[in-house]
C-alpha cells in the first residue's frame, strides 16, 4: 500500500472540507499515526480495535502537549474513517478515544509595567528585529501573518475627528491574509504609527524586496528568529507564560478596554466566532468588571437608600406585613 500517495489524497480531501491549517494538522496526524504503526510492526489491514487509544498513549509518553495530542489523534481518526470508506481497512473507529485532559489557562495580557519593560528590551535589538518586535503589540497579528506583510499591505484610512468634523484623522492599517485565506484589515494603534514611520524612513528605505520586515538582502525575517528573540525577552521579564500570542492578547484586550464592540474585535482578530476571542484572547481583570459595573450605574433597588437605613426599612416591612395579616 503506497501510503505517501494516500496521504496526499487524504490531504486534498481534507482541504475540500476544512481550512488549510486544519488540513495540514490532520495530515501530520495521519503521518505520525502511520509511523507509529511501522515502529510497532502493525499491519494497516489488521489494526487492533484500541489502536487510537494506543496511539494517544504513545504521543502522551513522548512528551507532547495535550492539545497537540488531541489534534493528531483527531487527524488519525479522520484518516481511518476516510480509509474505511475507500475499502482499505474494516476498522470501526466510531468509539471514543481516551485523551489527556486539557487545562485551559485564562488569557494573559501584559500589564503596563511588563509592556514598558518589553519595549525597553526590544529597543536594544538591531534592525529590522527591533522595529518588528516593537510594532507587534500595536497590531495584534499572529507572528507568521505579521512577518508576511509587504509594503503593499500598508494602507491609510481617514476619518472625521469627533470633536471637529471639519478635520480628519489619518489611521494606518495592515491588510492581512488570515489562516483560512480570508482577507481582513487590522488597524495599527496610534502609538505605533511613529515607530512604523521611523522604520520606513530609515532602515526600510535602503532595503530591496517587497517584505515589510526584511534584512539588508531583502529576505523576510524568519518566524523562528522572532520567536527566539521573544524567548530571550521572556527570560529577562521572568514571565511563566509569554509568546507572540501574549502580545496579540494584549492588543485585543486593549481594544476591549477602550470600549470597542465585540463584533469589531472578532473581525480584527480574524476569528469566526466571538467565543474564540472571549475564551482565549481577552483578559478580564476584576478591576475591569468593577469599572464596567460602576459606569453602568446598576442598582438593585432604584432610587433607594435602603442600605443606609436598613433598620428603619426592616421596621417598615414588619409594619407592612402586619397590615396584610389582619
* Residue 70, C-alpha cell as written in the block: 488531541
Dist. CA 123–CA 214, nearest whole Å? 17
Residue with cell 532595503: 207
Give 261-301 pLDDT, tens digit per residue. 888 888 888 888 888 887 777 766 666 656 666 666 666 56
The residues, ordered by sequence, that sit 6+ positions from 114 with a Cβ below 8 Å of its Cβ are 237, 239
Q: What is the pLDDT of residue 43?
A: 84
Residue with cell 535602503: 206
- What is the maximum alpha-carbon separation in the chain? 95
Give 149-177 pLDDT, tens digit per residue. 999 999 988 888 777 788 888 889 999 88
Give 59-87 pLDDT, tens digit per residue. 888 888 888 888 899 999 999 889 888 88
Q: Evaluate if residue 306 carries a pLDDT over 60.
A: no
Sheet of strand 154-160, all strands in order from the earlier edge strand to the far edge: 154-160, 168-177, 183-187
Under a CB-based contact definition with an 8 Å cutoff, are residues 285 and 293 in contact? no
Dist. CA 121–CA 165, nearest whole Å? 40
Has this prediction a pTM greater than 0.85?
A: no
CB atoms within 10 A of CB 91: 18
Q: What is the pLDDT of residue 32?
A: 93
Q: What's the angle, vertex CA 245, arms to CA 244 and CA 247, rounded to 5?
A: 70
* Residue 80, C-alpha cell as written in the block: 481511518
DSSP string, 206-250: G--SSBSSB-TTSPBPPHHHHHHHHHHHHHHHT-SS-SHHHHHHH
Query: 65, 126, 75, 130: which is closest to 97 by C-alpha?
Result: 75
Residue with the bigger pLDDT between 299 and 193: it is: 193
* Residue 310, C-alpha cell as written in the block: 436598613
Strand (E) or helix (H) holding 86: helix 66-86
**Residue 220 bridge partners (DSSP):** 214
Whether cis (ω within 30° of 0) applies to the bond prior to 128 is yes
Dist. CA 167–CA 164, nearest whole Å? 6
Amino acid at each position: 500500500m503506497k501510503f505517501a500517495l494516500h496521504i496526499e489524497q487524504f490531504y486534498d480531501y481534507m482541504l475540500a472540507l476544512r481550512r488549510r491549517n486544519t488540513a495540514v494538522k490532520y495530515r501530520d496526524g495521519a503521518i505520525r499515526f502511520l509511523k507509529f504503526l511501522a515502529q510497532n510492526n502493525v499491519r494497516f489491514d489488521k489494526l487492533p480495535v484500541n489502536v487510537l487509544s494506543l496511539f494517544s498513549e504513545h504521543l502522551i509518553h513522548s512528551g507532547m502537549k495535550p492539545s497537540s495530542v488531541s489534534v493528531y489523534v483527531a487527524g488519525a481518526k479522520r484518516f481511518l474513517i476516510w480509509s474505511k470508506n475507500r475499502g482499505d481497512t474494516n476498522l470501526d473507529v466510531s468509539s471514543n478515544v481516551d485523551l489527556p485532559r486539557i487545562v485551559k489557562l485564562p488569557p494573559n495580557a501584559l500589564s503596563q509595567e511588563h509592556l514598558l519593560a518589553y519595549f525597553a528590551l526590544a529597543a536594544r535589538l538591531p534592525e529590522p528585529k527591533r522595529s518588528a518586535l516593537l510594532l507587534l503589540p500595536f497590531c495584534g497579528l499572529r507572528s507568521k501573518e505579521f512577518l508576511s506583510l509587504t509594503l503593499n499591505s500598508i494602507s491609510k484610512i481617514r476619518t472625521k475627528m469627533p470633536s471637529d468634523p471639519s478635520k480628519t484623522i489619518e489611521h494606518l492599517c495592515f491588510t492581512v491574509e488570515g489562516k483560512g485565506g480570508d482577507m481582513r484589515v487590522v488597524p495599527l494603534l496610534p502609538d505605533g504609527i511613529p515607530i512604523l514611520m521611523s522604520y520606513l524612513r530609515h532602515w526600510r528605505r535602503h532595503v530591496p524586496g517587497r517584505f515589510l520586515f526584511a534584512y539588508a538582502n531583502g529576505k523576510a525575517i524568519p518566524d523562528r528568529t522572532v520567536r527566539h528573540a521573544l524567548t530571550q525577552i521572556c527570560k529577562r521579564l521572568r514571565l511563566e507564560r509569554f509568546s507572540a500570542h501574549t502580545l496579540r492578547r494584549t492588543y485585543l484586550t486593549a481594544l476591549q478596554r477602550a470600549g470597542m464592540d465585540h463584533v469589531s474585535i472578532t473581525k480584527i482578530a480574524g476569528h469566526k466566532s466571538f467565543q474564540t476571542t472571549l475564551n482565549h484572547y481577552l483578559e478580564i481583570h476584576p478591576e475591569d468588571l468593577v469599572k464596567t459595573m460602576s459606569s453602568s450605574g446598576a442598582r438593585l433597588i432604584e432610587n433607594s437608600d435602603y442600605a443606609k437605613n436598613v433598620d428603619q426599612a426592616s421596621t417598615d416591612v414588619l409594619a407592612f406585613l402586619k397590615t396584610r395579616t389582619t
